[in-house]
């Protein structure tokens, strides 16, 4: 449907330009008599072309190519670091075997550009209220965001029993790189600035004491308040995060953007 609309707008602009050329240059030069008179054609051709050109600029150059899914989820508030937007939520997965539910960090992310990016998002809960590894105090998520992608990182966490049911503050920072460049922008709206940290990308996937026990220096981190769930496990049942890509650019999308 969008392709038909974009094609119609482009054709209208082209026809309008031909109409202007015919009404203002060709007809007077060869003595054509235009239906309804010369002046109506001159001004109508300009008006139609200007309207069509304005629509062309908006739909093909200004309007977002993809829906702002993250805004729909968060009410419009989310973080961004260098083109990657995200927002962390706490979810609970109930078990059927009677064991306590498994809490998880559900990090919803959205790539604003047509390039593929690599990202690391670091969460530092006050007092080590939750973690993903036994003995760890923080959550360090490393993932790859596909071109124009909207997705969710699912990371199981254990929640300290004494902090369950309490609101806690969590510091948030991120680091992002674009191995092949950002490419064309597919979403205009950015998020709130979030802090960062120094990162050796060759060691981005490591899980050492430095990343998990408060030794990583966070530079101007953002702070959010999260309500911890109750009745959940104090340990994560697995340490591997999963990356659920819900939407991304297709080959057809890439050809249209090139």
- Looking at residue 87, its pLDDT comes to 98
- Looking at residue 62, its pLDDT comes to 43
b vs e for 30-62, b when ≥16 Cβ sit within 10 Å of the residue's Cβ?
eeeeeeeeeeebbeebeebbeebeebeeeeeee
Taking the CB of residue 95, how many other CB atoms lie within 10 A of it? 12
pLDDT tens digits, the chain, 258 residues: what are they?
455 655 775 777 677 678 677 777 777 777 777 777 778 767 777 777 676 666 555 555 545 667 889 998 998 899 999 999 999 999 999 988 889 999 999 999 999 999 999 999 999 999 999 998 877 889 999 999 999 999 999 999 999 999 999 999 999 999 999 999 999 888 888 899 999 999 988 877 776 666 777 789 999 999 999 999 999 999 998 878 999 999 998 877 766 665
- Looking at residue 18, its pLDDT comes to 80
Question: Please, which contacts does 247-255 make with residues 24 or more away whose CB atoms are closer than 8 Å?
Answer: 247/66, 247/69, 247/148, 247/149, 247/150, 247/151, 248/111, 248/146, 248/147, 248/148, 248/149, 248/150, 248/151, 249/114, 249/146, 249/147, 249/148, 249/149, 249/186, 253/65, 253/114, 253/148, 254/114, 254/147
């Amino acid at each position: 449907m969008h392709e038909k609309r974009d094609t119609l707008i482009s054709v209208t602009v082209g026809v309008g330009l031909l109409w202007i050329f015919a009404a203002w240059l060709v007809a007077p030069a060869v003595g054509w008599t235009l239906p309804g008179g010369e002046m109506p054609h001159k001004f109508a051709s300009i008006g139609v072309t200007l309207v069509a050109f304005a629509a062309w600029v908006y739909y093909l150059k200004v309007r977002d190519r993809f829906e702002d899914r993250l805004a729909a989820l968060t009410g419009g508030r989310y973080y961004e670091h260098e083109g990657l937007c995200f927002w962390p939520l706490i979810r609970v997965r109930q078990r059927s075997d009677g064991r306590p539910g498994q809490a998880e960090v559900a990090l919803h992310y959205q790539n604003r550009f047509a390039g593929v990016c690599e990202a690391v998002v670091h969460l530092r809960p006050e007092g080590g209220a939750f973690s993903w590894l036994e003995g760890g105090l923080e959550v360090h998520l490393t993932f790859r965001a596909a071109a124009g992608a909207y997705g969710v990182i699912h990371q199981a966490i254990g929640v300290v029993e004494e902090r369950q049911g309490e609101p806690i503050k969590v510091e948030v920072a991120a680091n992002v790189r674009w191995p092949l460049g950002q490419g064309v922008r597919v979403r205009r709206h950015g998020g709130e600035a979030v802090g960062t940290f120094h990162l050796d990308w060759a060691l981005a996937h490591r899980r050492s004491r430095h990343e998990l026990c408060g030794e990583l220096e966070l530079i101007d981190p953002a702070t959010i308040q999260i309500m911890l769930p109750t009745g959940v496990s104090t340990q994560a049942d697995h340490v591997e995060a999963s990356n659920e890509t819900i939407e991304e650019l297709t080959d057809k999308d890439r050809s249209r953007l090139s």
